[in-house]
Structures are given as structure tokens and as C-alpha cells.
Amino acid sequence: MSKHQFQTEVNQLLHLIIHSLYSHKEIFLRELISNASDALDKLKYLTLTDPAYKSAGFDPKIEISFDSGSRPVLVISDTGIGMNSEDLTQNLGTIASSGTRSFVEKLSGDAKKDSSMIGQFGVGFYSSFMVADRVEVVSRKAGDEKAYRWSSDGKGDFEIDDAQRDTAGTTVTLYLNEEGKEYANRWELQNIVKKYSNHIPFPIFLHYEDTRFEGEGDKRKELKEQKTEQINAASAIWKRPKSELKPEDYNEFYRSISHEIDEPLMYIHTHAEGTLDYTTLFFIPQKAPFDLFRADYMPGVKLYVKRVFITDDEKELMPTYLRFVRGVIDSEDLPLNVSREILQQNRILAKIKSSSVKKLLSELEDVQKKDREKYNTFFGEFGIPMKEGLYQDFENRDKILNLVMYKSTKADGFTTLDEYVSRMKPDQDAIYYVTGEKEEILRRSPLLEMYRNKDIEVLIMDSDIDDIVISSVNKFKDHEFKSVNRSDSADSLKSDEDREREESAKPVVDRIKESLGDHVKDVKASVRLSDSPSCIVADEKDPTVQMQHILKAMGQSNLPDFKPILEINPDHEIVKKLAATSDQSVVKDISFLLLEQAMIVEGVELKNPTEFVSRLNRIMEKAI
């Protein structure tokens, strides 16, 4: 016998599960059945593709039994691929995924908050400790002669020793605690399997003792009989005709593959026949998975060939921007022994993927038109990855442009690009947008003053990704995108009067430019300002403030210093007084304050806040 300590993250996860999830404790059975199904999938694949396993025989089944006596026990057993000693240590004692580790690190210790967060995370085998004060796992790996026992009370360590098992597979024995003894019950187990695991593609058998009575009066006898009953449909739901299926069938299957408690937001079921013969069943969750923005995210689509599971760890099955999609692809045309390398280059799979993406986007477009509230929910969760698709998926860019939405100066909530275009003024030919970090700050930005005065709608793009994405798109239905953050965006809106103001402001512009020197790229009289004295914009070819922030966050530390173009409002009282004064020290201080306050408004960190405060103090002293 050998004793091992749980990895630190496992201890944290166990503590969370045991103390936070009692309202959902029935999911332990879903998780254990899902693990058993995965083990059967893996062995089935090997028996079909690996000569070493073809003679092993494959009798796929999951069996559940229980004892409701004084020491209630629940047993879940499978005839799957099994585990050896190393597998037991790795799979049940550590968290190998860095994504999972990151999830654990985010746990707050607030039971209510953490339990809602864990709804987006498959709690797996460890959920057993919600209902058991001791768990034993006996497993024998296919092809091995030896079996091993893993056991733990979930309080910091586990033991592994030799065991006996006649065939390959795994048996999990739960010694139920007070919270779990209700599950040593035939009806409870049947209901949970029906709710979460009805469409697991292998039979689930429940062994139970049936009690009945014969005779009457003094001759009445109690008879006990051991019975076995299959309690799930054990069908590949995706292969069944849609006309046979009800929403609850889809919901059950979604829960079994996604480890979610909630129903899906929507599902898309497709049978394709003809040049290619395949079936897909895709689900979109209600909530974004916890690893949505991690490079090591877990893909959510499983690949089957003729109902035989091939892989659920292949990121080539869906484009990265649709990584939140859960479901199944089942091809009749791929070979069973298709390898990972072939998958990435396979033309059949590439065509299935392309058709599936088009179908998903079309269904989303349909929801957007018919049920805007539902689509708003979707976009609130998955809007950022959808925007990623604008620069990842050139083939479907037009469709994605119809699906992305933005906040706007003229609409509540989200607005589509089509809706923006429908509200454009007759003489307007461009789509104007402003980028930055926070919606409330952008709505009050001096950059919007001219557009507000001219009654021109501006899209508010407050996601980090917007600046990168929109600059790669250029146009929507022949309408160019123009960034309000850039110096040239107002050129087409200039009037003759604006040009006259620019000319008359040249002397004060030159004084400010001389004072600021190489702290700015240029100084201009602004046509966009009406209330504020100044603002900063980026040159047409330079990165905006937002883009600079993104590039630095991505680790690009060797960026050149950001040099903005300062625009000043010639009609503002501060600028007028600046033009009239002969005190050169005041001119210099005010010039820098006009620049620095504009930078603060745009979220640019001042390099020398001490100098800013000194200048401000000097001007206040003279004003008093």
C-alpha cells in the first residue's frame, strides 16, 4: 500500500465542492456515469482500430447497485478501458489542466458566488465527496493482468494498493454520508439517470431488490427478488429523426456532454445526405465556460465516425471563435482509424466543418431576427469571440458582420450594423465609431461633441478587441468605418465656416505647438469640439490609445512613445485667453495642461504627474 497527498488545487476544489454545491449534489451521478461512458468509448475505439485489442472482446455496460442498510453504499461499475496505478494517481490525485488550475485560483471562498461559478465547470470525479465520506475505486486497465484500488476520505490524501478484478474496467464504491444516503434508492437513481444520462450511448443497468407480498392475513408473505433493469435509452440521440425528439431529450443529452446544470440557450440538429453523409448536433450554452478566454481551453465538440467515438480533444473541429459550441459531429465517410494528423488536413472534415459553421451562423442570424431578447443574451456572453471571427474567418465575414452588435449614441442596448445604416443621415456615407475602455466614459468623450451637434450616430466600442477587429474590416455594405479617435475622421464633415476658423486659429495653434515641442505629433484647430477646450486623437497611421494598451497587455514593451495629435477649440474661453496673453510661462503651462487633461480623459497615463500638479498649482495661484 502506498499513501499520496492530493495536489493543492485538488484540496481547494474538494473543499469548494463539499461546502458549496449541496443544492446540486445529484450531479455526482451524472459525472461518474459520464466518466464510465468515456472509458467505454476509448475501449470501443481500440477494439475497432488496434489489433492488440480486437480479440479482447467488448461487452459495453454501466452497472449501478446499492445497499440502503445501516451503512448505505452506492456502486457504479463499467467495462471500459480501466486504469493502472499511474493512471489512478494522475487522474484522481492531480489537476493536470492549467485551465482547471486557473479556475481553482479564482475561487473566492464565498459559497454562493462559487457555486454559481462552478456551474460552468465539470466537477468530475471529485463530486463524489459531496455525498460520500469515503470513496474506493477498483480498476484494471485493458491488456493488464493486475488491478489496483484507490481510496480516500477526501481530506488531504489517498491510498493505492493491489486489488482483484476479473475483467478490464472500473468500479467506484461510495460509502454514503448523511447528505448522500437518499441516493441508495431505486427511484431516485432512475430519475437522475433519466434526467442527465438517458442518452449515454451505452446501456445503464440498475440492480435492485424488489419486494412484493403474497397471500392474505396470517398467510401473507414478504418475498424479495433481485432484479436488473436497463434505465436509460442508450441511443445516439443525434442519429434519431428530429420528429421523434422533444426539447427535454435535447436538454438531457446536453447536460450529459456539457456537465452543465442549466438547459442550453439553443440547439441545432442537422442531418446531411448527398455528397457527404454526416450528422451534427450543436448546443450553445446559456453561460460562457470559465476557460473561454484561455489559450488552453477545452474544446466542446466530440467527433464520432459511424457512432464510434474518435476524439473530444481536437480544436480543429470548430474555428477558435466558436469554441463555446458544445455537441457532436458524426461522419459516415471518415475512416475509423483516422489519426490526429490526418484530421487536421482531411478534406471531408474540412467540408463538414465549413458547412457546420455556415449552419450555426445562419441559425444565429435567424434567432437575431425572430427573438432579439434571446439573441441579446447570447451576444452578452459570446459577443467577444464572435468579433474574433471577423479577422479569423474571412469566408464568413459578411455573415458575422450581420451578427456582431455594438452600443450606440442613439440606441439603448445593442444595435446591429444594419440598424445603424438604416438610421444614417441621407448625406452620410461612413459608419462612425469610438473606441475606449469604458462605455460611460466614451459617452461623455469630447470626441463626440461635433457628432452630437450634427445629429450623427456613433457606435461605442468598449471591448479590448474592437480596435484590432474593426481596423481589419474596413467596410460594411459599401460604408467605410471611420474612427472618431483618429484625426482624419472629421475631414469629410468640415464646412466652409470650419475652414475659416482653422485659418484664424493658426497663430494660437503655432504658439501651443512651439510650447509642446516633440510631446505631440501635431497641434490643430478642432472642428469636432464645441464644449471642451481640447482633445487628443491619433494620426491616421498610428495606433490609437486603446490599441497601445492592447499591445502592451500582449507583452510588447518596446513600443515607441505615444505621440498624439492635440486638437484645440478656438472658440473656448481658455484658448481665447491663451491667444491674448503675452506671458510665455502661462502659455507653456496652459498648453501642457490642455494636452494633459485631454490625455487623462482618453485614459492615457501621465508620465510625470508631479509636473502636471505643479503646473496646475501655478495656474490656480495666478487665477486667485
Give dist(CA 620, CA 618) in Å, integer: 6
| DSSP bridge pairs for 227 | 208
Mean pLDDT over 259-278 rounds to 92
pLDDT tens for residues 150-171?
A: 999 988 889 999 999 999 999 9
User: What pLDDT score was predicted for residue 300?
Assistant: 93
Instruction: Please check the confidence at residue 569 and state whether its pLDDT lies above 80.
Output: yes
Q: Which amino acid is at 125?
A: F
Residue range 322-345, pLDDT digits in tens: 999 999 999 999 887 666 556 777
The predicted structure's pLDDT at residue 548:
76
Q: What is the pLDDT of residues 523-536, one digit of tens each?
A: 999 999 999 999 99
pLDDT of residue 55: 78
Confidence (pLDDT) at 20: 62
What average pLDDT is seen over the chain? 89
Cβ-based burial of 105 (10 A; exposed 0-12, middle 13-18, buried ≥19): exposed
Q: Is the pLDDT score of 207 beyond 60?
A: yes
Task: State whether CATH 3.30.565.10 applies to domain 2-234.
Answer: yes
Entry pTM: 0.79
**In whole angstroms, what is the distance from residue 452 CA to residue 490 CA?**
13
Residue 98 pLDDT greater than 50, yes or no:
no
Tell me what the mean pLDDT of segment 111-123 comes to: 49
CATH number of 238-398: 3.30.230.80
Q: Which three cell numbers, joined as nine digits, stand for 31? A: 459525472
**Exposure letters 145-160 (e unless 16+ CB within 10 A, then b):** eebbbbbbebeeebeb
Q: Check residue 431 and give its pLDDT.
A: 96
Class of domain 404-623: mainly alpha
Per residue in 78-92, pLDDT tens?
999 999 999 999 888
Predicted pLDDT at 27: 82
Confidence of residue 118 (pLDDT cuts 50, 70, 90): very low
Cell numbers at 474, concatenated: 474596413
Average pLDDT over residues 602-615: 91
What mean pLDDT do residues 520-547 have?
A: 90
Strand partners, 299: none
Domain limits, the chain: 2-234, 238-398, 404-623
Per-residue pLDDT, 312: 82
605 pLDDT higher than 90:
no
Share of the chain above pLDDT 70, in %: 93
* Domains 2-234 and 404-623 in one fold: no
Which pLDDT value is given to residue 30?
A: 86
Does 44 have pLDDT greater than 50?
A: yes
The confidence band for 453, taking pLDDT boundaries of 50, 70 and 90, is very high
Tell me: pLDDT of 108 over 60.
Answer: no
